[in-house]
Amino acid sequence: MSINSSDSSITKATQMDYAIPASKIATLSSGEFVGVVADNPEQKIKLKMFHSEIQNDHEAIALEEKGYVEIPMVKKVTAEMVEENYKQIKREIFDLLKTECAKQEVKAEVKETKKRANSRPKKGKGEEQSVSY
């Protein structure tokens, strides 16, 4: 429970212990799984926790795997190619950031120039005003 002094706020939370202990999960064999299901007030579920295993038809899987076709080689990629591509991307990002930062600096300078121009005292009637761009 927490109470905030700046405004009236009361929060109440319930922390549940682990529904399925880590020791149970650690001892599962390959293909086994455990879990807890949530229900809603209109449809209550009495048995929320489950422990089951996947049952594979290994003969059917082996038969299916025999029909697999190897994926053709599109392009041989070396570690050097990957490294060069990575460096090129870094260079391009650096250049892009440099360009965008320069644009922002120019915008800031223009804004500052306009601000200074607007803050100069105005000349009275009959006095010449000069504007330069």
Query: Does residue 35 fall inside a structural domain?
Result: yes
Q: Tell me: the pLDDT tens digits for 1-17? A: 555 556 666 666 555 55
Number of domains in the chain: 2
Domain boundary among 26, 54, 82: 54
**Contact present, 82 and 90 (Cβ < 8 Å):** no
Q: Considering only CA atoms, which of 66, 37, 32, 67 is closest in space to residue 51? A: 32
Query: Does residue 5 fall inside a structural domain?
Result: no
Residue with tokens 């086994």: 32
Supply the pTM of this predicted model: 0.36
CA distance 49 to 35: 6
Query: Does residue 92 fall inside a structural domain?
Result: yes
Query: Does residue 109 fall inside a structural domain?
Result: yes
CA distance 127 to 51: 92
Q: Tell me: the pLDDT tens digits for 16-47? A: 556 778 888 889 888 899 888 888 888 888 88
Query: Does residue 65 fall inside a structural domain?
Result: no
Residue 39, domain extent: 17-54
Asked if residue 49 and residue 82 are part of one domain, the reply reads no
Query: Does residue 8 fall inside a structural domain?
Result: no
